[in-house]
Chains A and B, each alone.
Chain A
């Protein structure tokens, strides 16, 4: 039984990493820009489609494809932020949410028009084929890679925010926008940077998922609710919280499938509701 749980934990952990990549960008944008972007899942989806096209259709190198996808989605992020999101920072919450919802619809159809509505999946990169033997059961190399990638991103983000000058600017703007502006930080450019960075994180999540998951319209939106739950549990704007939250949600979902198949959908919402009622700022929020 213990072995089953441990193995299930590992599986859940790899699932968590996709959620982490999605939630990281979401919480970053909320913390710094103050916008809750429903369409964040669409950026995840675009990252997946881009990687599928470069790697699956054009046959480019896997790592190159991921890199190019990040650039493409980053570009889309620039357009989104400069042309649209910039104008909604000061307006009421309902309008913000509805605008981002509108983008979900646009991207879903756009993707259908360009790639067709049929689900697609590229081949697995050759060097990832195979398994480790963990607890007597096969655990794919690719899953290990995903876990390492997720942890690497977490460390990278921590380093950027704590140790670099850019990170310090971000933290300053997040806690007090006016003050930050007063001391000379160029807020608009910083905001664009952060948005694009968050978009690339989401795209990375989508890109890394392509060899194992189907690329279809709506794949990002299907996960966005879980990403919301994670950001709430961890604390809106809190990256550490998002990381921990993603792990909790991923592992709980995985346990749910093993132990309580009836309630797995329900569980994460109950957890979110409890957190909201008991500590609305989230586990790590202030």
Chain B
């Protein structure tokens, strides 16, 4: 039996159970929502914003490098290729994973979760719940590349000898990560589990 079926509503911040219709949690003062009716709408909105921001993040340069001899710009993928040239395959893999595999994987998983809830799918609830946890847990790690750019740009400022400055892609990439984190947080995991209850009970 769920809290909703029992005419109760649970606080999502602290877990305190209240009678239906209570507006604020008596313990932590958080808002009480039994099921967020607009959950999926918010998920789609943030997700689309994240997808849009991800496009310039890949087209424009992340890093602007200037040395005595040359000026160069590198994109996300360019940075990974550079690392492989230095022979740092492990690190190249970490950056590739954080900047390409995680964001793309996250887009796909969130789309799958949202579609499956919309179609009232009953398949593989445990698997989808795990996928949701993965997305929530791992999404933040995409920020690695933004921090790499920050520390490189702060560190490599040797006047005319060599300077590194952040490119505009850093901003759109950070936005993309923030938007997809918000998309994952807007998703109400209870929706995954509601489907077969309404059909069984």
Specify whether A and B are partners.
no
Interface residues of A (CB under 8 A from B): none
Interface residues of B (CB under 8 A from A): none
